[in-house]
Homo-oligomer: A and B are copies of this chain.
Amino acid sequence: MRPFRLALAQMNPTVGNLTGNADCIIALVEEAKAQQADVVAFPELALTGYPPEDLLLKPQFLAEAEMQLERVAGESKGIVIVVGVPHLVDGSVFNLAKAETPDSMTGTLYNAAAVLAGGRVLDYYHKLFLPNYGVFDERRYFTAGDTCPVYKINGVSVGVNVCEDIWYDNGPTTTQRAAGAEVILNINASPYHQSRGVQREVMLSKRAADNGVFVAYLNMVGGQDELVFDGQSLVLDPAGLVIARGPQFEESLLVVDLEVSANRSAAASNPSLNPVGVAKTILVPSSDISRARQPVAAPMSKPLDELTEVYRALVMGTHDYVKKSGFTSAVIGLSGGIDSAITVAIATEALGAGNVTAFFMPSQYTENQSNDDSVQLTDNLGVRLVTLPIKNLFDQYLGELAPLFEGRQPDATEENLQARIRGNLLMAASNKFGWIVLTTGNKSEMATGYATLYGDMAGGFAVIKDVPKTLVMALSRHVNVLAGREIIPESIIARPPTAELRPNQKDEDSLPPYSVLDPIIEAYVERDWQVSEMLEAGMPPDAVELTIGLVDRSEYKRRQAPPGIKITRRNFGRDRRLPLVNKYRPSSKF
């Protein structure tokens, strides 16, 4: 028997762009047809983009999505299409806003994989496991399915399921395997964070081997607000070995031949004691694919190293946020420090040097080295540098406020004022020229509140918001390695961090050294460690207390911050939802 040919469309949809996403899907279906695939698959909610959030509450949005799905279904002649869509059942009045009370809501919405064949919608698989933690809110919208279909396609039994479903030992995969599935097709919108790829691969290998099935794991690519989907789709054989790997952070149509018949003898059933969902088998009308095919070589991209992976996530996240928001150009305030340097480097990679403008806005506290370094950096990148001194504006503000502030000493007020003048100048340029302002604060600053609201926090997108300072430093060196030349001047990398908002200011005057601070932030913000756990791990008590206090007191700033790209296991944003009014301060006795 000839191999089963799977085409995995690792695509980059845009949330809400129903017609555009459908156009893109149809073009990829044509490409898969040309490659004589038996099945072409698209990611979770590929038609709407992921996550569509409260667009899913709009009946009109669901109706328009359904119309586009019908259009895609029309292309399913001679090929089976599997595509992620929202599926509304009995839902003419699905809509919380119209329901006066919770019990009067009607209609049921599923996170579905539509199976299209013979020119029409043949069936829907409804996702069973709905993540509602971290950045995910799927139970806000969706009801869990209860059926685990197996589709008989051109002689091969294919179990389809969606994203989270594959993460459970005793999930739909097991039920589908027991019902005869030989191939599991799992469509995803799985966001990137560091080490996520390795976790996925370990899990998928176990899932394939435990069940003795081929597992095809298809992931989305692209940036959507805080999230970056990293692609790296995987196909594993029934022994759990990776036989195909898609590229990271790139669109790709992966075409893979599965030698299903050769593995039939090996496919042992893995009986489940508590099967999830009800199995059903659906015969898919055979497509006319009797023609001989040339075998294809499975794509096998090389995984990126850790630093390159983060860098590419930041570049793609920035590119997609800026472009999908309708901007072409960006403006960035350069301070002479490492954070703004790496931000401008990432923006240049994402948007092109001709689309990036750097503002250098010195005050009386700015050292000459900051100027020299900014010139060098923008020269290296080929980026336009605009210098706008803020001293006169600062003096004018001080003059206007002098009567009100009479008798008061200078304090953080005057520091914030400088940052806010800079924010105003950047925003004025943004308004006048249609540039998006990219902010330059890192995760260590966001955590501790070492940033000025409406000042250096003013902007549309915060590129390195989830990158701790120690990682910023490592990435800065890596940018030069990747380029094979000096992009970020060594003098910027080597210089002790400073905000330059008062004479001789250094970050470490106010904060613990970053090598001490960053692990505390990770423990407290990303891992919810108890205080006692931090102390037992050897973190200095004073630094722990200071850091926790700063993190807790800065929530109000973060709430008004622009979004930034998630690269850690828990970012500031949808991933971490704390009240603003919050009197909880962890006792040091726990």
- Residue pair B53, A577 in contact (C-beta under 8 Å): yes
Report the bound CA distance from A569 to B577 in whole Å: 22
Asked if A20 is at the interface of the complex by the 8 Å CB criterion, the answer is yes
A sample of 29 cross-chain residue pairs with beta-carbon separation below 8 angstroms, ordered by A number, consists of: A15-B579, A15-B582, A16-B582, A16-B583, A60-B531, A64-B586, A64-B590, A96-B133, A97-B570, A132-B139, A224-B579, A225-B579, A320-B581, A321-B581, A324-B583, A325-B580, A386-B404, A388-B401, A392-B396, A393-B396, A393-B397, A401-B429, A411-B431, A411-B432, A413-B428, A413-B432, A416-B428, A420-B424, A559-B563
- Residue pair B199, A101 in contact (C-beta under 8 Å): yes
Report the bound CA distance from A298 to B36 in whole Å: 78
Asked if A587 is at the interface of the complex by the 8 Å CB criterion, the answer is yes
Nearest B residue to A14 via CB reads B583
Residues of B within 8 A of A587 (CB): 60, 64
Interface-central residue, A60, A393, A408, A569, by most chain B CB under 10 Å:
A60
Asked if A169 is at the interface of the complex by the 8 Å CB criterion, the answer is yes
Residues of B within 8 A of A320 (CB): 581
Asked if A405 is at the interface of the complex by the 8 Å CB criterion, the answer is yes
A4-36 toward B: CB 8 Å interface, digit per residue (1/0)? 000000000011111010000000000000000
Q: How many residues of A contact B (CB 8 A)?
A: 105
Asked if A59 is at the interface of the complex by the 8 Å CB criterion, the answer is yes
Residues of B within 8 A of A556 (CB): 325, 460
One complex includes copies of this chain to the number of 2
Report the bound CA distance from A137 to B137 in whole Å: 8
Residues of B within 8 A of A133 (CB): 96, 102, 140
A579 CB to nearest chain B CB (Å): 5
Report the bound CA distance from A100 to B563 in whole Å: 25
Asked if A291 is at the interface of the complex by the 8 Å CB criterion, the answer is no
CB within 8 Å for A102 and B431 given contacts A133-B96, A393-B393, A528-B59: no
A408 CB to nearest chain B CB (Å): 6
A31-49 toward B: CB 8 Å interface, digit per residue (1/0)? 0000000000000000001
Residues of B within 8 A of A393 (CB): 393, 396-397, 400
Residues of B within 8 A of A134 (CB): 96
Residues of B within 8 A of A412 (CB): 431
Nearest B residue to A410 via CB reads B432
- Residue pair A581, B15 in contact (C-beta under 8 Å): yes
Interface-central residue, A101, A321, A453, A581, by most chain B CB under 10 Å:
A581
Return the 10 tightest CB-CB contacts between A and B, nearest first: A16-B584, A17-B583, A413-B431, A60-B530, A454-B454, A16-B582, A324-B581, A16-B583, A413-B432, A139-B139
CB within 8 Å for A527 and B97 given contacts A54-B578, A432-B411, A586-B60: yes
